[in-house]
Structure 1
Amino acid sequence: PLSPPNIPNIIIILCGNKKDLDADREVTFLEASRFAQENELMFLETSALTGENVEEGFLKCARTILNKIDSGELDPERMGSGIQYGDASLRQLRQPRGAGPAQIKQQCNC
């Protein structure tokens, strides 16, 4: 049987593809969903043909990573965390923890 790697803080989304070919399916939604739940994976069924849930998989992954950064579980500044900020100019777009809209507006030079 397939088992996911045991790596802390890794984000894995199990994507069942070809959702549009329901008649040809080999694994039921329930089987896949149960496997994902037992292995602490997120689960989506997708279709590249219709586009259903394709973008949602990437968005779910990104949201989960951002939530882990906000909660302090992940630190992009720490070597070996598996994530890092991109271009330094983009770092300024990230809202500081605890900063409300009023604080952000004060920092704005527009």
Structure 2
Amino acid sequence: MVAYRTEDDYDYLFKVVLIGDSGVGKSNLLSRFTRNEFSLESKSTIGVEFATRSLNVDGKVVKAQIWDTAGQERYLNKFGYRAITSAYYRGAVGALLVYDVTRHSTFENAERWLKELKDHTDPNIVVMLIGNKSDLRHLVAVSTEDGKSFAERESLYFMETSALEATNVESAFSEVLTQIYHIVSKKAVDVGDDGDAAAVPAKGERINVKDDVSALKRVGCCST
């Protein structure tokens, strides 16, 4: 007899945020990972949206709730960016910081995005630097070595991806979720030393995102 799990049957729920400049491919990374879809006609995200997908990590079902926001300041300001910043980052235990390997300015801005992330999240958050659009090899403006150097300097994980060709997209998200799970597992073992054990969710604990969604909807920014 086969036991089936329902959509709400999981061991862990981890909130992961996508950050980076507009046009770097965050939404296509999200759709490729969660629905295995890619759209050449995709437009800039206005406001905030999220999607979910569950993975098996070390025999446990980990459900990722991945949030994607507009990276373009004019959209963020229009929709009350400062009002939604805390709600967007609240409860996040993982992040993908994305730049476009063909646009050096998006790589230069990664430091600013990383600072904002650190200002609004727990120090234990797992962050992976993503150099997206690796399929555009003839247009590369940011070398792999530069990406690796920045990641090493800031103690980030690093991977180059192509949402178009589905290169390393699965690996990038899986690695982030696996590392989050290992942190949670270690904290569960160290729970007797509970000084900061609540920094990440314990086994079976849900991250309450309902308040976050309500706050975002109140400022009229959410896409459906």
TM range (shorter): 0.5 to 0.7
Note the 1:1-110 alignment, pairs <5 A: 2=111, 4-5=114-115, 6=118, 7-72=122-187, 78=198, 81-83=199-201, 85-86=205-206
Give how far 1:82 is off.
Answer: 5.0
For normalisation by structure 1, the TM-score amounts to 0.65
For normalisation by structure 2, the TM-score amounts to 0.34
**Unaligned ranges ≥5, structure 1:** 88-110
Higher share of residues assigned strand: 2
Structure 1: which 4+ aligned runs deviate by more than 4 Å? none
* 1:12-63 deviations in Å (ceiling 9; x for gaps): 1111000111110111000000100110000010001110011111101111
Q: Secondary structure at the match of 2:126?
A: coil
Q: Percent identity?
A: 29
What is the rounded CA distance, in whole Å, between the counterparts of 1:68 and 1:82 in structure 2? 8
Q: Secondary structure at the match of 1:51?
A: coil
What is the rounded CA distance, in whole Å, between the counterparts of 2:159 and 2:148 in structure 1? 8
* 1:41-88 deviations in Å (ceiling 9; x for gaps): 00010001110011111101111011111211897x83xx2546339x
Highest Rg: 1 or 2?
1
What is the rounded CA distance, in whole Å, between the counterparts of 1:39 and 1:54 in structure 2? 22
**Unaligned ranges ≥5, structure 2:** 1-107, 192-196, 208-224
Q: Which has the higher contact order (CA 8 A, sep 6+)?
A: 2
Instruction: Give the number of equivalent residue pairs.
Output: 84
Q: Secondary structure at the match of 2:134?
A: coil
1:106 corresponding residue in structure 2: none
What is the rounded CA distance, in whole Å, between the counterparts of 1:50 and 1:27 in structure 2? 19
What is the rounded CA distance, in whole Å, between the counterparts of 2:135 and 2:201 in structure 1? 34
Cα RMSD of the aligned pairs, angstroms, is 2.6
